[in-house]
């Protein structure tokens, strides 16, 4: 299985991603779909943070004196995760607002029921 | 006999079609006469009867088909839907399992976790670590990276938040007029249900809220010196404001947090960010003296623009967090 056991953190991130994806696909409740989506986001952050980690090194906060790249972990994934978190907050808020609007109109959170009612309105 | 009559009629028809209106009148009348007078012979009547029987059978078949399609539709509405759902669930499960398996195989072939020689740790991160403090003045390398080297990226992020608030406001705003407004207000406005005098909560918040806000400000201002920065500090301040709103109600919170405040704060913060960073990039790209130096790394007023940009980002994030909460709770400010 190659590096699967050594890469346990990435593997955990992937499994979390899969759980989120399954939630997104299998649940008909819109709120649960949003939760699944957020889980996928978090899994990606875990994956990125794991990619930046280097065993035995410190967080990228410089100490006094000369700096050497061999002392610190990689700061780039941290910046990427920051960007990702902000975007996922925005996307989650937008999805929840759309859910609120759908609920106000159809009085249900079931996506199939909403589709059925919307189709009936179209006819 | 009937067959011969039909042949004659067919020949006449063909002649009429060929010649059209150029036929002499008497010939025309003759032809029309053969067409109008159908041969009433037993064979034709037999054919007619057979045709009627055929039609009746067709009608029978049609009714049968209609009944079948009705049954299929009912089946589709009840059992079919269940079957489809089960099928969909199975397929979705298979797709998910496939995706996970594929990604796990990929993970198994990735370089090992926590190894310093991985290709991801290349000269870019080396440069950020070795030159970051000297060039940006920020002790926190991540802050130096996102607010100095990649400052436009962070400006875009803040605007994503702002755009999200705008979109949520468009979606959740209640209609201005009409009888629907009252119903929606009653439905979506929690103000009716919120506790008016929850003394234990108010006492606790009266103690906690200043501490939370102070801690948020500390994180905000400490972003270039240690863990923290605009996004985390802004989120903490926003959480403190939401806690205050929950304890003391909208009437108290609206003394300072209105749509007007939100507009002013976000506009000032984002405008300051864009203008100051545009100035810094412009002077930097043209080799001009910008008057913004990295200062002494480790001092509170150092790292050039980074603390100020942190404050701008933090204010935006706090305003956006609070705006999300109040928009979802009552549909307006």
Chain A to chain B Cβ contacts (< 8 Å): 169
Residues B39/B6, Cβ–Cβ less than 8 Å: yes
Percent of chain A beyond pLDDT 70? 97
Nearest to B96 among A6, A21, A52 (CB): A21
Of the candidates B92, B120, B161, which has its C-beta nearest A25's C-beta? B92
Q: Minimal Cα distance from B224: which residue of A?
A: A61
Half-sphere exposure of B44 (CA within 13 A, CB side): 11
Q: Given an 8 Å threshold on Cβ–Cβ distance, is B141 in contact with A60?
A: yes
Q: State the pLDDT at residue B2.
A: 45
How far is Cα A117 from Cα A123, in angstroms, rounded to an integer? 10
* Higher-pLDDT residue of B177, A22: A22
Strand, helix or coil for residue B198: coil
Query: How much is the pLDDT for B58?
Result: 92
CA distance B54 to chain A (A): 36
pLDDT at res. B146: 85
Q: Count the Cβ atoms, other than its own, within 10 Å of residue B101.
A: 12
Q: Which of B157, B320, B329 is CA-nearest to residue B239?
A: B320
Sorted by where each begins, the domain ranges of chain A are 8-60+71-122
* Interchain CB distance below 8 Å, A85 and B231: yes
Is the Cβ–Cβ distance between A39 and A16 less than 8 Å?
A: yes
Handedness of CA B210, B269, B266, A100 (dihedral sign): negative
Rounded to the nearest 10 degrees, the angle between the axes of helix B151-172 and helix B306-330 is 20
SS in 3 state form for B38-75? CCCCHHHHHHHHHHHHHHHHHHHHHHHHHHHHHHHHHH
Say what the pLDDT of residue B196 is. Answer: 65
Helices (H) then strands (E): counts for chain A: 4, 0
Closest residue on chain B to A7 (Cα): B113
Of B233, B211, B204, B231, nearest to B220 (Cα)? Answer: B233
Q: Do A90 and B163 touch (CB under 8 A)?
A: yes
Crossing angle for the helix pair B306-330 and A76-106, nearest 10 degrees? 20
CB B220 within 8 A of CB B307: no
* % chain A with pLDDT above 90: 33
Q: What 3-state class would DSSP assign to B148?
A: helix
| CB < 8 Å to B150, chain A | 79
Task: Give per-10-residue mean pLDDT for chain B (333 aa).
Answer: 55 64 65 60 84 90 90 78 86 90 87 80 82 79 84 87 88 68 59 68 89 92 83 91 84 78 89 88 78 71 81 90 85 66
By the 8 A CB rule, do B302 and B294 touch?
yes
Q: Classify domain A8-60+71-122 at the CATH topology level.
A: Helix Hairpins (1.10.287)
Q: Which residue has the higher pLDDT, B24 or A93?
A: A93
- pLDDT of B35: 58
Residue A2 pLDDT > 90: no
Nearest to B113 among A50, A68, A93 (CB): A50
Adjacent-strand bridge partners of A72: A58
Q: Strand (E) positions, chain A?
A: none
Let me know: does A34 contact A96? Beta carbons within 8 Å.
Answer: yes
* B-chain residues near A87 (CB < 8 A): 157, 160
Of A41, A109, A32, A88, give the one whose Cα is nearest residue B164. A88
Q: Would you state the pLDDT for residue B1?
A: 45
Q: Which of A69, A82, A104 sits opposite B130 (nearest CB)?
A: A69
- Say if residue A77's pLDDT is above 80: yes
Instruction: Determine the pLDDT at residue A103.
Output: 86
ipTM: 0.85
d(CA B150, CA B141): 12
For residue A59, what are its two tokens? 């967080």
Task: State chain A's mean pLDDT as an integer.
Answer: 86
């Amino acid at each position: 299985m190659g590096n699967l056991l050594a890469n346990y953190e990435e593997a955990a991130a992937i499994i979390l991603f899969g759980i989120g994806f399954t939630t997104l696909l299998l649940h008909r409740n819109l709120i649960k779909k949003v939760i699944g989506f957020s889980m996928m986001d978090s899994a990606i952050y875990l994956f990125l943070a794991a990619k930046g980690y280097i065993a035995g090194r410190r967080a990228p906060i410089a100490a006094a004196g000369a700096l050497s790249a061999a002392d610190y972990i990689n700061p780039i994934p941290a910046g990427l995760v920051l960007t990702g978190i902000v975007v996922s907050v925005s996307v989650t808020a937008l999805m929840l607002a759309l859910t609120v609007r759908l609920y106000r109109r159809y009085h249900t959170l079931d996506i199939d029921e909403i589709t059925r009612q919307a189709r009936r309105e179209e006819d | 006999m009937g067959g011969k009559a039909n042949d004659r009629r067919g020949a006449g028809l063909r002649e009429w079609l060929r010649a059209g209106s150029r036929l002499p009148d008497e010939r025309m009348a003759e032809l029309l006469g053969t067409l109008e007078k159908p041969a009433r012979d037993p064979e034709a009547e037999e054919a007619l009867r057979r045709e009627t029987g055929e039609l009746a059978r067709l009608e029978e078949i049609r009714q049968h088909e209609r009944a079948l399609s009705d049954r299929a539709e009912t089946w589709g509405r009840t059992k079919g839907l269940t079957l489809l759902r089960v099928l969909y669930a199975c397929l979705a499960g298979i797709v998910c399992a496939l995706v996970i398996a594929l990604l796990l195989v990929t993970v198994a072939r990735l370089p090992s976790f926590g190894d310093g020689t991985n290709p991801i740790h290349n000269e870019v991160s080396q440069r950020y670590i070795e030159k970051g403090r000297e060039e940006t003045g920020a002790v926190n390398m991540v802050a130096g990276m996102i607010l100095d080297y990649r400052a436009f990226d962070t400006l875009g992020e803040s605007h994503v938040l702002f755009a999200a608030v705008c979109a949520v406001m468009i979606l959740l705003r209640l209609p201005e007029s009409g009888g629907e407004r009252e119903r929606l207000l009653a439905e979506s406005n929690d103000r009716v249900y919120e506790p008016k005098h929850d003394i234990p909560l108010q006492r606790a918040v009266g103690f906690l809220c200043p501490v939370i806000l102070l801690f948020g400000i500390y994180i905000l201002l400490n972003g270039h010196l240690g863990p923290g920065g605009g996004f985390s500090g802004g989120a903490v301040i926003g959480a403190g404001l939401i806690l205050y709103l929950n304890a003391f109600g909208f009437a108290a919170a609206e003394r300072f947090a209105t749509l007007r405040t939100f507009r002013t704060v976000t506009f000032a913060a984002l405008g300051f960010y864009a203008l100051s960073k545009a100035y810094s990039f412009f002077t930097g790209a043209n080799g001009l003296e910008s008057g913004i130096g990295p200062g002494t790394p480790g001092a509170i007023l150092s790292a050039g623009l980074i603390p100020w940009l942190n404050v701008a980002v933090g204010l935006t994030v706090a305003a956006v967090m609070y705006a999300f909460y109040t928009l979802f709770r009552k549909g307006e400010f």
